[in-house]
Amino acid sequence: MAEEIKSLDELNAVAGGEAVAEIAAPREPVRDELGRSYATGKRKDAVARVWIKPGSGKVTVNGKDMSVYFARPVLQLIVKQPAQVAGVEGEFDVVATVKGGGLSGQAGAVKHGISKALQLYNPELRGALKAAGFLTRDSRVVERKKFGKRKARRSFQFSKR
């Protein structure tokens, strides 16, 4: 392989005539007939279904405004992170339904869903979102309680007498 391979046909010839797919096919935007992108976000026991569409930046979670549903400023910050990193603040309306877990897990699930939906709507945003780690599902979940233990790992108090 001293010479450089310039075209896909030459690559197929070198590969023994087998069909070789394009090396880096550009990603296509995934949108429904209403111009929305959908993604599912998960965190702990929470699962969020997220739809994004071009708009004024309004975020609705379970039919309520984000500032009402996620009252703590830290949770609102978590939900806003993907748009800030991608540089599209105020450009998309977000509608999310989230079930399971607590508020912290739900905020993380909405964040994951928004990140995935943004990447599907505009594949050029993938690099920034992936570099920030927003497309990776945080797999940490609560450890189960074991028998003979007070909690997952905590033992009962030892008594010598």
- Condensed to tens digits (0 to 9), the pLDDT of residues 32-59 reads 999 999 999 999 999 999 999 999 999 9
Query: Which residues of the chain fall below pLDDT 50?
Result: 1
Q: Which two tokens stand for residue 122?
A: 């505009």
Q: What is the pLDDT of residue 25?
A: 78
Distance CA 147, CA 61 (A): 38
Distance CA 22, CA 13 (A): 14
What is the model's pTM?
0.81
Q: What is the pLDDT of residue 3?
A: 54
Q: For the chain, list the domains and their CATH numbers.
A: 29-132 (3.30.230.10)
Q: Which residue bears the tokens 């995935």?
A: 116
Do residues 137 and 112 lie in contact, with contact meaning Cβ atoms separated by under 8 Å?
yes
Q: What is the pLDDT of residue 1?
A: 47
